[in-house]
Amino acid sequence: MHTRPQTALSAGAPAACQGQACLHGGSRCRAAVVVSRRRDGVSAVEDFAQYQLRFVDDIQHDYEVIRPIVLFAETIAERSRQTGIEPTVVGAKARRFAMDGMLGLVDQRLVNPGRKGHVYPEAVAAHILYLKQLYPSIHDREIVRIVQRKFGYKTNHHTVKHFLERFALPVQLDLNLLAFADFADAYQARWTVVRMWYEGWNKQSIAGCLQMARSHVYAIIAAFERDGFEGLEDHRTRPTPHPDDQLTLPFLKDVLDLQQEYPRAGRFRLHGLLEQQYGPDLPSASTGGRAMAINRRVHGAPGPGSSARDEQEAALEPRHLPYRPHYRHHLWFVDIRYLVKIEGRWVYSLCILEGYSRTILAGMASEHQDLPALLQLLFAALSTYGCPEGIVSDHGAVFQAHAYMAILKALEIEPKYIELRKPWQNLIEAQFKVQLRLADFQFEQAGTLEESQRLPAAFIETFNTTRHGAHQKRDDHRRTPVDVLGWVRGRPVAPEHLRHLFGRVQFLRIVNPYGLVSIQRFYIYAEQGLARQRVAVWIYEGQLRIEYRETLIARYRCAYDQRQKRLREVSQPTLYHTIFASPQLVLIELDDTQWIKVQQRALQRRTHLRIAMGEQLTLAALGTSALLALYVQALGEVGRICFPHVSCVM
């Protein structure tokens, strides 16, 4: 007889529970029924999309993603299809929830930002920081190599980089590491280089850390690899003129005197000045540089000078030089430079340079950069050295004046001009840099114009007789400009022809005992101290200048008739106090109104005198024989008186 089961399922039980006892409990079965009914009405994809509109937190979103999995045993693949999220992400979220609960759904990037840094052993970490502090420019790959060789610890440069970013050195501290030149023992210094190389240091880092040349590092390592420890020994023999033996107190004193006299001069210029004093026994330029450094450090010598070139950026391409002299007196170079301000007024430096030998042919300091000063300088150079083939200058007004161009044309000298705003094309610009270093300090110390006018001659003598950088590689061992120029002169020109050309603007006059010069019908005061001396008088564009030995003595305004070649008027005298002034004091001081500096003679007409010649009277009417007898008798008397020891027979 069959019996009915005691447990019966309700009509709404899930299909999974039908035919067997319910193992889920009543509440879970009812939830399953609800889910089943919801799925019948709305798809899970649309259901999740509707929920997303109501989420206010990321944790709500993550929980809704994994809720069917943890509550209803839904598969990860099915839930990934419903939500559109990768299965691996869905599985990771469910796994974290199963392990940590709701805290497992918190974004770990907010809790632990970034990658967890690598933890080095204490000794390795300390050595990495020590290397970075010892030489901040060391590469990360070098640190990896050094750590591996020293500790046997393997790492990579990325890990080292992240470690140093987390433990950056805020301040560079001083370490007791000697430079290569500071080692007392040369063997120990070389061994330090070799030891650092085998520890893993780069050769460039060794050179930077020990403050030595990279080529020296290569040489030491090569010697050690070739000869072993024997290569670290000092095999050099010390020469007799060793720098340590030449840095004597007298030599340091001579260098110090030149540094104080030429505070802007560098090692090369001072070495050239010392050559005149020491001759062939002069120490090298490097020894002179060390002496200059010692004097700056110990004796307070002036520091190294600077120029505008140091402040400018280096040229990317070599600058073009259109005018290159190929032989002596091929090209001359002329220019005017602002020198120094004295009493609020500029003093200018005018120089003419011979291009091939770099010899300054003529130079002067003038208060005016006008045509008479240029012509005076040109006359001095032409009368001494002859004519060049061409003269290079800029486009200044004085270099394009009619009188200047007429003289060059008459002498068959070609004027050449550099390009605008390219002063380096004029070779004299480089020599002006030498003047800045050797002479500008003396010009700045000059308090008056007459003092500054005495300095150009000394500078020209110093410049022409010292070594020049352009001649250091000559095969004939001529190093100074005057040695290169030698006795060679340019194309000769007759002095009369030269005076005739410059005679249009220049006159030569003798100063009388009262200090006056006579020009046509004017007596003009020049300088009483130059009595009986020949001075040059320049007349151009309404100005009359009186100069002696390229020194301006007096300056006047004048009116000159070019057509009749006659001086009409002289006025507005300006006298300059020079070294040629008379040492004799005047008895009575006169002011400008009492002292008449220009006197005009009255115009006198020359009259031709006719002198009446006396009439020659005839002798007595004697015959020819009588006159001949008288002549012979007179001749005999003269012979007996003048030559008593000579006898003659008639």
- What is the per-residue pLDDT across 186-198, written as a single tens digit (0 to 9) for each? 899 999 999 999 9
pLDDT at 407: 92
Amino acid identity of residue 295, one-letter, is N
Share of the chain above pLDDT 90, in %: 27
Q: How far apart are CA 133 and CA 121, in angstroms?
A: 18
Can you tell me the mean pLDDT for 107-121? 68
Assess whether pLDDT exceeds 80 at residue 9.
no
Residue 604: pLDDT band with limits 50, 70, 90: low
Q: Identify which has the larger pLDDT, 18 or 280.
A: 280
pLDDT at 116: 62
pTM, 2 dp: 0.52
Among 290-299, 354-363, 487-496, 641-650, name the one with the lowest average pLDDT.
641-650
Within 10 angstroms of residue 182's Cβ, the number of other Cβ atoms is 10
Assess whether pLDDT exceeds 50 at residue 561.
yes
Can you tell me the mean pLDDT for 168-192? 77
3-state SS assignment for residue 632? helix
Residue 239: pLDDT band with limits 50, 70, 90: low
pLDDT at 646: 39
pLDDT at 648: 40
Largest CA distance in the chain: 225
Within 10 angstroms of residue 462's Cβ, the number of other Cβ atoms is 17
Residue 633: pLDDT band with limits 50, 70, 90: low
Can you tell me the mean pLDDT for 475-484? 92
Contact status, residue 578 vs residue 450, Cβ threshold 8 Å: yes
Q: What is the arrangement of strands in the sheet containing 522-525, beginning at the earlier edge strand?
A: 516-519, 522-525, 598-600
Residue 412: pLDDT band with limits 50, 70, 90: very high
How would you class 378 by CB atoms within 10 Å of its CB: exposed for 0-12, middle for 13-18, buried for 19 or more?
buried
Amino acid identity of residue 110, one-letter, is L
Q: Identify which has the larger pLDDT, 242 or 517.
A: 517
Can you tell me the mean pLDDT for 312-321? 63
pLDDT at 51: 80
Report DSSP state, residue 318: P
Residue 27: pLDDT band with limits 50, 70, 90: very low
Give the burial string for 136-167 (b: 16+ CB within 10 Å, else e): eebebebbbbbbeeeeeeebeeeebeebbeee
Residue 175: pLDDT band with limits 50, 70, 90: low
Contact status, residue 359 vs residue 464, Cβ threshold 8 Å: yes
Assess whether pLDDT exceeds 90 at residue 135.
no
Mean pLDDT in the chain? 80
Task: List the one residue out of 187, 264, 179 whose CA is nearest residue 224.
Answer: 187
Kindly state the tokens that stand for 315: 């040229």
Q: How far apart are CA 423 and CA 427, in angstroms?
A: 9
| Tokens 């052993």, residue located | 121
Residue 240: pLDDT band with limits 50, 70, 90: low
Give the burial string for 470-493 (b: 16+ CB within 10 Å, else e): bbeeeeeeebbbbbbbeeeebeeb
Question: What pLDDT, in 10s, does the model give residues 58-97?
Answer: 888 888 889 898 888 889 999 898 888 899 999 988 988 8
Residue 478: pLDDT band with limits 50, 70, 90: very high
Can you tell me the mean pLDDT for 596-624? 61
pLDDT at 357: 94
Element at 501 (helix H, strand E): helix 495-502
Q: How far apart are CA 273 and CA 466, in angstroms?
A: 6
pLDDT at 44: 81
Assess whether pLDDT exceeds 70 at residue 640.
no
Residue 109: pLDDT band with limits 50, 70, 90: low
Q: Identify which has the larger pLDDT, 85 or 55.
A: 85
Residue 394: pLDDT band with limits 50, 70, 90: very high
DSSP secondary structure letters along 508-554: EEEPPTTSEEEETTEEEE--GGGTT-EEEEEEETTEEEEEETTEEEE
Q: Identify which has the larger pLDDT, 637 or 49.
A: 49
Q: How many angstroms separate the Cα of 571 from the Cα of each of 79, 507, 522, 555, 557?
A: 116, 18, 11, 10, 5
Q: How far apart are CA 87 and CA 78, in angstroms?
A: 9
Report DSSP state, residue 320: P
> Which residues have CB under 8 Å from 323's CB, separation 6+?
331, 333, 355, 390, 392, 416, 418, 425, 427
Under CATH, which number does the domain 331-485 receive? 3.30.420.10
Q: How far apart are CA 332 and CA 490, in angstroms?
A: 11
| Tokens 């020491």, residue located | 278
Within 10 angstroms of residue 96's Cβ, the number of other Cβ atoms is 18
3-state SS assignment for residue 339? strand
CA 208 to chain centre: 26
Kindly state the tokens that stand for 562: 């070019």
| Tokens 């649309």, residue located | 46
Assess whether pLDDT exceeds 50 at residue 183.
yes
Q: How far apart are CA 200 and CA 562, in angstroms?
A: 88
Residue 217: pLDDT band with limits 50, 70, 90: very high
Residue 173: pLDDT band with limits 50, 70, 90: low
Among 160-169, 276-285, 614-623, name the one with the lowest average pLDDT.
614-623
3-state SS assignment for residue 567? strand
Among 13-27, 156-170, 528-542, name the one with the lowest average pLDDT.
13-27
User: What value, to the nearest 5°, has the Cα angle with vertex 392 and ends 370 and 426?
Assistant: 100
Assess whether pLDDT exceeds 70 at residue 456.
yes
pLDDT at 41: 56
Q: Identify which has the larger pLDDT, 526 or 29.
A: 526
Residue 541: pLDDT band with limits 50, 70, 90: low
Q: What share of the chain is helix, strand, coil (3-state, %, to 5)?
A: 45, 15, 40
